[in-house]
Amino acid sequence: MNNVFGLISERKSVRTFDSDEITPLVRDDILRYARGIKTPYGQEVDVRILDKGMHGLSSPVIVGSETFIAGKIDRAEHAEEAFGYFFEELILYIQSLGLGTTWIGGTMDRKAFEDAMELDSNEVMPCVSPIGKPAEKRSLREIMMRKGIRADSRKKFEELFFDGSINVPLSEARYPELSEILEAVRLAPSAVNRQPWRVIINEIGAHFYLKHDMGYIDSTGWDMQKIDMGIALCHFGLCAEANGIETHFSIEDPNLDAGRLEYIASFLIEKWSEE
């Protein structure tokens, strides 16, 4: 996938589509790419492209799309982060084909989607996305929704990135080799645009922490905000590779001064870019 940062910086969630169908050739291309995605957690995601009419699928926030893509994963430790990483990389690839997408985690007929995915008791289908050609104009429904969640706003750099400790905001000039990569993380999408990740940078790498908000953990312990963490990790991983920075993924807590934040994962930098 070329120009990853360009895709990230240009991406907008699309909820209004024209009614053109996705051709079999494009479907096969998407599924072929999905089969090649490897998350740093090593967990597999089963992806399917679903027809709205065939399965009786619906979402009140989507207008015009006849096709959805969905994924399911076994319930296991770190499944949320693994799914977020996987599905975001797939979403970016679909965008590179000129198609629109948006993450949907709640506003859908979940039973219809889960039936279409043939979900087993040990599996979970966290999110889906419509896929299709974006309409020339957004629907009034989409315009109002984007305003409600302030879809185009993002937290400031110093609110998300820290220098060795959660108490020291990171200067944007501190690690110039990481500037594009951290901007990609800052731009990552998240549920209701909460951006729950906080990243502590030190000389050995980037360490990701979760700032919990109320209401995102269900009765089974599934944490939707850890999907957001997977998305942020995906942006870092893809852009680090694109910038020639070699990293090693780790889930060993570095025991940094992070206050009450929950440690998630680190990218340990093995080789900085030679440029």
Q: Characterize 22-36 residue by residue with b for buried, 16 or more Cβ atoms within 10 angstroms of its Cβ, and e for exposed.
A: beeebeeebeebbee
In this structure, the answer to whether residues 25 and 136 fall within a common structural domain is yes
Q: Is 16 part of a structural domain of the chain?
A: yes
* Phi, psi of 82, deg, nearest 5: -60, -40
Q: What is the pLDDT of residues 35-82, one digit of tens each?
A: 999 999 999 999 999 999 999 999 988 999 999 999 999 999 999 999
Q: Residue 242: what pLDDT?
A: 96
165 and 244 part of one domain: yes
Q: Is residue 146 part of a domain?
A: no
**182 and 135 inside one domain:** no
Rounded Cα distance between 137 and 134, Å, is 8
| 8/115 same-domain check | yes
Per-residue pLDDT tens digits for 179-210: 999 999 999 999 888 999 999 999 999 999 99
Q: What is the pTM of this model?
A: 0.94
The count of other CB atoms within 10 Å of the CB of residue 66 is 19
Q: Which pLDDT score is estimated for 214?
A: 81
Tell me which residue has tokens 């990483």.
85
| Residue 149 covered by a domain | no
CATH number at residue 37: 3.40.109.10
Tell me: do 20 and 137 sit in the same domain: yes
147, part of any domain = no
Residues spanned by the domain of 216? 157-271
- If asked whether residues 100 and 170 sit together in one domain, one would say no
pLDDT band at 137 (very low <50, low <70, confident <90, very high): confident
Q: Do 264 and 162 share a domain, yes or no?
A: yes
145 has a pLDDT exceeding 80: no
Q: 173 and 234: one domain?
A: yes
Residue 150 lies in a domain: no
Give me the percent of the chain exceeding a pLDDT of 90: 81
Q: Which pLDDT does position 142 carry in this prediction?
A: 65
Provide the pLDDT for residue 232: 98
Total tally of structural domains belonging to the chain: 2
pLDDT band at 24 (very low <50, low <70, confident <90, very high): very high
Checking if the pLDDT of 130 tops 60, the result is: yes
In a domain? residue 242: yes
- pLDDT at residue 228 above 90? yes
In a domain, 257, yes or no: yes
Q: Is the pLDDT of residue 150 over 80?
A: no
